[in-house]
Amino acid sequence: MTIASDARSRRNFLKLSAVGAAALAFGVAPAAAATPEVDALISKFAEGKKVSEGRITLDLPSIAENGLVVPLNFEVESPMAADDYVKSVHFFADGNPNPQVADFTFTPMSPKAAAQLRIRLAKTQNVIALAVMSNGDVYSAKKEVKVTIGGCGG
Amino acid sequence: MATNIKPRVRMPATAKPGEIIEVKTLISHVMESGQRKDAAGKLIPRHIINKFTATFNGNEIMSVDWHPAISANPYQSFMVRATESGVFEFTWFDDDGAVYKSEHKVTVS
């Protein structure tokens, strides 16, 4: 089992293992990160909080014919009220030369933490979404996209 | 490159009170990633739009920091709520310091 944050203390490890086990029990693969670079970004944005599964709907094609334009839709479940909203949503692509894709900042003025955009993927890889709530909770989701033609010019 | 950059926004001009409306935006831009090489094998320097913001009557609704992994001619759609009549302003920030703006009046009735 891999760990989504770099909090390596025994207690955190046990907590995360428990979360991972729960996720596995429901047949969901843990969205634990792939590369050290993405790991570092996740722990930076999660600010040491444990990363849970769920609440994010991440819509990406399973097979992208053209890595230059890959549509990405997402929605994070939240009431978007003044005291309970989605603060930020981050996207990482673990196989791109620069894994950062986009960092969204939402306010309670947004009725939904949802958006659509188009991204570049250099090769077949995982796209990881990380949502930070106003109370500090962190959720993540992951989706593998198979890319037929890479999108970094090369 | 900054001559032919034109933001386009599609959203309704009228809305019911409290209605959630979708805003679709598109801006023409090369979004040069800084990874590509030209014919002589030299790296083409990065030139992207690095930030997009949406405000309503001056209050921020949402903003996005874009990285080079955003496709050329970046498309961005998102949701806003029409609470009262007012002006939505969308702003794009270019690496070269240029700022592109688009304003849209929405009447709530």
Under 8 Å CB-to-CB from A71, ≥6 apart: which residues? A60, A61, A116, A117, A118
pLDDT band (50, 70, 90) for residue A37: confident
B62 and A110 within 8 Å at the Cβ level: the answer is: yes
Cα–Cα distance measured from residue A20 to residue A85, given in angstroms and rounded to the nearest whole number: 25
Q: How confident is the model at residue B3, as a pLDDT? A: 63
User: Per-residue pLDDT averaged across A51-69, rounded?
Assistant: 90
Instruction: Give the distance, in angstroms, between the CA of residue B5 and the centroid of all CA atoms in the same chain.
Output: 11
Nearest in space to A66 (alpha carbons), one of A147, A144, A152: A147
Q: How confident is the model at residue A39, as a pLDDT? A: 87
Q: How confident is the model at residue A74, as a pLDDT? A: 95
Q: Is the pLDDT of residue A9 over 70?
A: no
Of B60, B70, B72, the CB nearest to A117: B70
Which residues of A have a CB under 8 Å from any CB of B?
A: 68-70, 93, 96-98, 100-107, 109-112, 114-121, 151-154
A133 touches A80 (CB < 8 A):
no
Q: How many residues does chain A have?
A: 154
Q: Is the pLDDT of residue A152 over 80?
A: no
Cα–Cα distance measured from residue A44 to residue A33, given in angstroms and rounded to the nearest whole number: 13
A123 vs B contacts (CB less than 8 Å): none
On average, the pLDDT of chain A sits at 81
Tell me the pLDDT tens digit for each residue of A73-110.
Answer: 999 999 999 889 999 999 999 999 999 999 999 999 99
A95 vs B contacts (CB less than 8 Å): none
Report the 3 state secondary structure along B8-71.
EEECCCEECCCEEEEEEEEECCCCECCCCECCCCCECCCECEEEEEEEECCEEEEEEEECCCEC
A153 touches B46 (CB < 8 A):
no
Q: What is the Rg, in whole angstroms, of the alpha carbon atoms belonging to chain A?
A: 15
For the entire predicted model, the pTM comes to 0.81
Nearest in space to A44 (alpha carbons), one of A107, A13, A88: A88
pLDDT band (50, 70, 90) for residue B95: very high
Angle value at C-alpha B67, between B66 and B73, nearest 5 degrees? 65
Tell me the pLDDT tens digit for each residue of B17-68.
Answer: 989 999 999 999 999 988 888 899 898 999 999 999 999 999 999 999 999 9
Which two tokens mark A5? 């944050």
Q: Checking DSSP bridges between strand A63-66 and strand A138-149, what pairing results, if any?
A: parallel
Q: Is the ipTM of this complex over 0.85?
A: yes
